[in-house]
Structure 1
C-alpha cells in the first residue's frame, strides 16, 4: 500500500494541516510545549493510526468469519521514554455484545498484531528525507 500525505505549517505555533486526497486533519502541540492544543500531537496521531488499523483489521476478519460484536473498543496507551529512547504501545481490546469463544478471542489477538500499522511499527522502517 502506498500513501501520499502532505502537511504544512505556517506562522501559528505548531498548528499543522495534514491532507490526503479529500481529507484533512489537524495536528498541534499541547499548551506546555508552545502549541494551542487544537489537534492531536504527532505521537497521538501514531497511536490513532494503530487504533484505526487494529479495529478495521479485526472488523474485516470478523465479517469474513461471520463473527459478531455490537461494538469493539480499543485503547492505546503510548509511553515514549526519551531517556531510554524506547516507545511502548499498550493496546487493550474490548468486545461488547458478542459470544466469542476463548479460541476465537486468541485468534483475534493474532489478527490485531497483523494489522498493517502494527507490522510497520514492529518491522524495519526506512525514512528517506529530501529537501527541495
Structure 2
C-alpha cells in the first residue's frame, strides 16, 4: 500500500497527504531557489526528518527500557551546496534536560546518531550533532 499521495499545486508548491492519517504537508521551493519560502522546502523536510527520526528512536528505546528521557528540543540548520545543488551539511543542536545516568545517556545518544534516516542519508552529507545535556532540576 502506498504511504502518501503528492500533488503539484502551482508556483513550485506541492501538497502531500499521508494516506493512513490524512495529515497534509505543503512544500514550497526556498527563496534562494525561485520559491516563496512559504512552507518547508523538500530539503528542509529531509533535514528535519533526521532530527525527528533521532528523537523517535531514542523515545522508542526509552519506552522499551522504562527510562524517562526528560525534555529534548533541537535546533536544526541545513547547509546547501551547489553544483550540484544538494544538502551539504545538517547541523543539530540538542538541548537535553534529563536525570538519566551517563551510561543511559550515552546509549540513547548512540541510538539517535544511528537512526534509520541517519543511515539512509548519502555519506557526503555531513551530520554535525551536538548534545547540550543538563539536569532537569
TM interval, short-chain normalised: 0.7 to 0.9
Give the match for residue 37 of structure 1. Answer: 37
Contact 1:15/1:29 (<8 A) preserved: yes
Q: State the Cα deviation string for residues 21-77 of structure 1 (Å, max 9, x = none).
A: 112100002344332322101111101211211111111111122221332112222
| CA pair 70-31 structure 1, distance change in 2 beyond 3 A | same
Cα RMSD (Å): 2.4
Which secondary structure state, in structure 1, belongs to the residue aligned with residue 121 of structure 2? helix
Structure 2 spans left out of the alignment, 5+ residues: 124-137
Which secondary structure state, in structure 1, belongs to the residue aligned with residue 53 of structure 2? helix
Aligned length: 120
Contact 1:58/1:112 (<8 A) preserved: yes
Structure with greater proportional strand content: 2
Taking structure 1 as the reference length, what is the TM-score of the superposition?
0.75
Which secondary structure state, in structure 2, belongs to the residue aligned with residue 119 of structure 1? helix
Structure 1 spans left out of the alignment, 5+ residues: 124-132
Contact 2:59/2:69 (<8 A) preserved: no
